[in-house]
Amino acid sequence: MSDCLFCKIVDGEIPSNKVYEDDEILAFNDVAPQAPVHFLIVPKKHMESLDDTTDEDAALLAHIMLKIKDIAKELGLENGYRVVINTGEDGMQSVKHLHVHVLGKRRLLWPPG
């Protein structure tokens, strides 16, 4: 999608601080980190949100989920981390390209706001 911020990051049009990349996904540091480690994982294929996914995306979604622990380990999150997928208006999703937040290196509060 030409006007999608994360598609532009995937295409390299907008620079990002990459932490992992393969043919299907890109992970990069969040520009406004909410924890000492805070990165996002996005599918390279544009999809607006979890609401936009279908059974055909099962392998891609599983790939994202299974990569989290590897990247987390690389970044030293041996004491745990939190995975968040903000979805839609009530979920306060601001960027309309599916992304998974991974936050760690501090004790995170619960419940969230």
What does the binding site for ligand DGP look like in residue numbers (CB under 6 A)? 5, 14, 16, 28-32, 86, 92-95
Q: Whose Cβ is closer to ligand DGP: residue 32's or residue 66's? A: 32
- Judged by DSSP in three states, 112 sits in coil
The three-state (H, E, C) secondary structure of 44-98, written as one string: CCCCCCHHHCCHHHHHHHHHHHHHHHHHHHHCCCCCCEEEECCCCCCCCCCCCCC
Rounded least distance, CB 34 to ligand DGP, Å: 7
Considering the complex, state which of residue 16 and residue 43 has its C-beta at the smaller distance from ligand DGP: 16
> Judged by CB, which is closer to ligand DGP: 17, or 59?
17
| Cβ-contact 84, 44 below 8 angstroms | no
- Our answer to whether residue 99 is catalytic in this structure is yes
Smallest gap from residue 17 Cβ to ligand DGP (A): 7
Token pair, residue 81, equals 């981390």
Residue among 38, 46, 63, 99 flagged as catalytic: 99
Residues marked active site are found at 99
